[in-house]
Structure 1
Amino acid sequence: MKAKAKRRFIIQETVFMPPFQSEYNPPNDPIEVVYEDAHVVAVNKPTGLLSVPGKGEHLSDCMLSRVMVAFPDALLVHRLDRDTSGVMVFALTVHAQRSMSMQFEARSTKKTYVACVAGEFKESEGEIDLPLIVDWPNRPKQMVCHETGKPAVTEFKRMSVTDGRSRLRLFPKTGRSHQLRVHCLAIGHPILGDPLYAPETVADFPRLLLHSEELRINHPESGKGLRFRAKCPF
């Protein structure tokens, strides 16, 4: 008698996991408007707040959505990293958005940042010229790559040196993602409080010590030079 082949039933257990939610607890401070007219509004973005919504309902709170509560026609022009505070400008008309966006693309805007970094900065001023590229296995991190990186240039001036730390003014001449953070790391002076790039001992601060202090841009209608400033909170 021929034996019947055994029938095998594989029951796969399904495990239901709740959607991943990254830790995101933005501050509830009211919007600080540093300039407004019929075409432009500039604000002082707090640290810990996204510039635009992230993926998922828990990341919907952002600078753009908050500005739109007071200025429903607000349109995005540029971004700041979540942990960077300071001047951020929005357009209130399509023409203003196009004009100011083109100025950022043409690198005709002038940006000034304040940063506190680890170590004693020897040079009083200088330039960091290191090409950057996405670190794909570790996104959203960026890295220096001399072979295929995109040009990235940052000028700097030393403000002070105290207790093994340096205070700098940084002037990005290009607008690469995480440019200032990666450039400071690459020359051996990571920004204090940087959760992505700094060593653990340097990252152990309440916030990233990087602030967009000043932005200069031409008015989209009159062409007049505008200067927006937000006092550094650290």
Structure 2
Amino acid sequence: MESWVVEETQKNERIDKLIVALHEQASRTHVQKWINDGAVTVNGHVVKSNYKVQQGDQIELDEPAPEEIEIKPENIPLTVVYEDSDVIVVNKPRGMVVHPAPGHYTGTLVHALLFHCKDLSGINGEIRPGIVHRIDKDTSGLIMAAKNDHAHEQLSKQLKDKTTGRQYKAIVHGVLSHTKGTIDAPIGRDQKDRQKMAVTHMNSKAAVTHFTLEETFNEYSYVTCELETGRTHQLRVHFNYIEHPIAGDPKYGPKRTLDISGQALHAETLTFVHPRSEEKMAFTAPVPADMQRLLDELRDSH
């Protein structure tokens, strides 16, 4: 059960549109079905999709359980960086979706892991077995998955407590004026386009990114980024916010950009404490060939 109280800035908004903005994963079609099925109430009463909310309205959503989708293991090659009976670390290629979602019911990392591992934690249910954290489809790099519930709980706690380390390499538009910096700006659903996230103070969560400038080129910069928090599209949103969008990003960057399929963003380093042995683990994966090619071309032309 989720609930919200309507703020003054939200009054007179259609309830279906408002819930789409408040709910990170629901589409307007989903929300309208929930409203028609009586899963949404305002001040204890069922309403219609076109109901215009008023300040102080108490909205409650009793979200129905998702329809079960049978996920079958698929023999998809994986680049396994580390594996034991508790955890597996994989270098995910750009273009691979992490877990099944609308439009991506096959060919995901979860399908590949189910074939490779046979055993994954069940905490996230059938759709996301073993998945502790995510990286975007068109971001490459290191991701960890848990093979049992104990490992999943321990790794999730480390993410929540901000004791894991996640460093990324990125090529961004423009020449950064600072060699080091911190972007501390809350992220929430974009009010104008629900497919995007944005820096906003409305229904948002704290988001902090640290960056170090590695190299500059004529029109681009190469940076190391460290996540203090892990919000959806965080690095892509934050660098767009400071007017240095990530190169190749079709959602947040300019159309005129570098020749790469997806954003030039790579999860290079991952550190965590092993959930059973309590040993500190550290893994590194070099940037993929297409991103290295871009770096070489930028260096040659600089």
Aligned partners of 1:232, 1:40: CA distance in 2, in Å?
Answer: 23
2:258 & 2:109 partners in 1: Cα distance? 24
Q: Which residue of 2 aligns with 1:110?
A: 165
* TM-score w.r.t. length of structure 2: 0.65
Q: Distance in 2 between matches of 1:130 and 1:204?
A: 29
Residues 72-108 of structure 1: CA deviation (Å, up to 9, x unaligned):
1121111111111100101111111111111112211
| CA contact 2:188–2:202 (8 Å) conserved in 1 | no
Q: 3-state DSSP class of the match of 2:257?
A: helix
Alignment correspondent of 1:66:
112
Per mean C-alpha deviation after superposition, the further-off stretch among 196-205 and 36-45 is 196-205
Query: Residue in 1 aligned with 2:281?
Result: 226
Residue 202 of structure 1 aligns to a residue whose secondary structure is: coil
Structure 1 residues 123, 143: CA separation in 2 closer, same or farther (over 3 Å shift)?
same
Structure 2 counterpart of 1:40: 87
> Any runs of at least 4 consecutive aligned residues in structure 1 with deviations exceeding 3 A, and if so which?
none
- Higher mean alpha-carbon deviation, 148-157 vs 80-89, is at 148-157
CA drift of 1:205 comes to 3.1
- The answer to whether the Cα contact below 8 Å between 1:39 and 1:93 also exists between their aligned partners in 2 is yes
TM-aligned CA distance change 1:148 to 1:76, over 3 Å: closer
1:131 to 174, 186, 202: 186
Shift of 1:136: 4.4
What is the CA distance between 1:39 and its match in structure 2?
Answer: 0.8
Shift of 1:59: 3.2
SS in 1 for 2:229: coil
- What RMSD in Å do the two structures reach over aligned CA positions? 1.6
Q: 2:101 aligns with which of 14, 30, 54?
A: 54
- Cα distance in structure 1, aligned partners of 2:280 and 2:241: 34
Structure 2: state its 5+ residue gaps: 1-74, 121-129, 292-302
Q: In the TM superposition, what is the alpha-carbon distance from 1:147 to its structure 2 partner?
A: 5.0
Question: CA 1:140–1:42 in 2, change beyond 3 Å: closer, same or farther?
Answer: same
Shift of 1:41: 0.6
Structure 1: runs of 5+ lacking an equivalent = 1-27
Counterpart of 1:159, as a letter, is E
Tell me the distance in 1 between the aligned counterparts of 2:116 and 2:203: 43
Q: 1:140, 1:60 → 2: CA distance?
A: 21
Instruction: Kindly indicate whether the alpha-carbon contact (under 8 Å) linking 1:195 and 1:203 is maintained by their aligned counterparts in 2.
Output: no
Q: Which residue of 2 aligns with 1:174?
A: 229
Number of residues paired by the alignment? 206
Higher relative contact order (CA 8 A, sep 6+): 1
User: SS of 1:158's equivalent?
Assistant: strand
Query: What is the percentage of aligned positions where both structures have the same residue?
Result: 38
Bigger Rg over Cα:
1
> 1:196 matched to which residue of 2?
251
2:240 is aligned with 1:185: yes
SS of 2:138's equivalent? coil
Distance 1:29 1:94, change over 3 A: closer
TM-score (norm 1): 0.83
The structure carrying a bigger helix percent of its residues is: 2
